[in-house]
Amino acid sequence: MNTYQPGSYLKLRRHESYNKDELNAIKRLQELNLIKIQDRQKSFLGRKISYVLTSSGLFYIFSNILNYPPQLLTRYQHDIILKTLLFQYFEVETIAGSTARFYSVITHYLQECCRTTLQRIDIVKKSTIGTSTPMNVKEGERHTKILESDLQWHAKVIAFKLAIMYSESNILLMVNPDDVANDSATVAMYELESTMKIILSKDNKFIQLLEIVYTDFGDGYKVLMKGKDE
């Protein structure tokens, strides 16, 4: 049997055969609803099965792992989790062109979003323990709105963080000569991060988010400064 190993969706490499332990692992991942069969093909060479990650599988990765490639995100760009958390705020091309420093912010953001979601689910579960009646619709809607607000907050935080991170002075700080071997490497890193700044500045989705943050910050600043003078 020829298949794609589930791990290849992280390592982006294809495997042609499996031992017994690997096949047992694949079966277990299916049982946990972390992967599913995408396609089955038959040929004179045998049977080939293609696997893909499920939304549950992606959620598990984002919650527990920080080291995965941008290709994982672009590959699953149409999944509801990524459409909700990431690609309503960033163009696919921006994520595909990520530098290491920018991408680190993205993976931490996804982890925070998933952990916040898990915490809200845990709160809902605890609130129904010991009761014989399910949560009513109104209470469920309240928790949904709280979660939506929390996730929007995380999105605003990442926009604010990136705006500060990609100011000219902070780009220079990111390219610390102590971290690189020579001046040529320093220049190369500076150019890389400067290019990332240009990509971000041309990302319409990110700019829309940044404008919301700018407005909210300005409104909050005015209110607080007004209170200071009263």
Q: How confident is the model at residue 17 (pLDDT cuts 50, 70, 90)?
A: low
Tens-place pLDDT, residues 92-113: 999 999 999 999 999 999 999 9
Predicted pLDDT of residue 178:
58
Question: Who contacts 174 (Cβ-Cβ below 8 Å, separation ≥6)?
Answer: 101, 165, 189, 193
Angle at 33 between CA 30 and CA 35, to 5 degrees: 60
Mean pLDDT of 158-169: 93
Predicted pLDDT of residue 186:
79
**Which strands make up the sheet holding 2-3, listed edge to edge?**
2-3, 46-53, 35-43
How far, in Å, CA of 170 to CA of 166, rounded? 6
Domain coordinates in residue numbering, the chain: 2-53, 61-229
Checking phi first, is residue 131 left (phi over 0); if not, alpha (psi -120 to 50) or beta?
beta
In single-letter form, the type of residue at position 26 comes to I
Tens-place pLDDT, residues 21-41: 878 888 899 999 999 988 776
Mean pLDDT of 183-193: 84
Tens-place pLDDT, residues 51-84: 899 999 999 999 999 899 999 999 999 999 999 9
Where is pLDDT greater, at 89 or 168?
89
Q: What percent of the chain has pLDDT over 90?
A: 57
Q: How many CB atoms lie within 10 A of CB 120?
A: 17
Own/partner pairs, 149-158, CB within 8 angstroms, 24+ separation: 150/116, 150/120, 151/84, 151/85, 151/113, 151/116, 151/117, 154/109, 154/112, 154/113, 154/116, 155/85, 155/89, 155/109, 155/209, 156/209, 156/212, 156/213, 156/216, 157/109, 158/89, 158/105, 158/106, 158/109
